[in-house]
């Protein structure tokens, strides 16, 4: 796909360490799923404490709504099934990982240079 048909979403301020982190994390997934429905290539990069959503046992019990109908893990799995690529920041993992394994849905590792390069090539970039 051409860069103009590509979105890179960066999750930065909606980690599980925030009291409302799960509710805040829902929005980037909704945007990513909408972009996939419009046939954009989509990546989500997890940075800072938001990288913890990609670790075993963190996202499963984190509900994104008051009715407790959907967890962050549900969004992660739905996004992957839709073709969204999920990346963990290596620096963030070094800071926030406590021995947990990465979820199998994680595409791989990427850092700031990857996001900057994508933006420089014309990818639409949003930070949450």
| Per-residue pLDDT at 2 | 57
Ranges of residues in the chain whose predicted pLDDT is under 70: 1-3
Which residues lie below 8 Å from residue 11, measured CB to CB, with a gap of 6+? 25, 28, 44, 45, 46, 47, 50, 53, 128
Which residues lie below 8 Å from residue 61, measured CB to CB, with a gap of 6+? 71
Q: How far apart are CA 41 and CA 39, in angstroms?
A: 7
Q: Residue 103's domain spans which residues?
A: 3-127
Strands 124-127 and 6-11, bridge-based pairing:
parallel
CATH code, 38: 3.40.1260.10
Total domain count, the chain: 1
| Per-residue pLDDT at 3 | 59
Cβ distance 26 to 68 under 8 Å?
no
């Amino acid at each position: 796909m051409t860069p103009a048909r590509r979105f890179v979403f960066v999750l930065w301020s909606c980690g599980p360490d925030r009291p409302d982190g799960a509710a805040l994390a829902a929005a980037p997934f909704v945007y990513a799923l909408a972009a996939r429905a419009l046939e954009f290539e989509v990546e989500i990069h997890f940075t800072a404490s938001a990288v913890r959503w990609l670790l075993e046992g963190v996202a499963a019990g984190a509900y994104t709504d008051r009715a407790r109908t959907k967890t962050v893990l549900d969004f992660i799995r739905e996004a992957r099934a839709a073709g969204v690529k999920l990346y963990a920041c290596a620096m963030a993992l070094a800071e926030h990982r406590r021995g947990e394994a990465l979820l199998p849905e994680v595409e791989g590792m990427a850092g700031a240079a990857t996001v900057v390069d994508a933006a420089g090539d014309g990818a639409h970039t949003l930070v949450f």
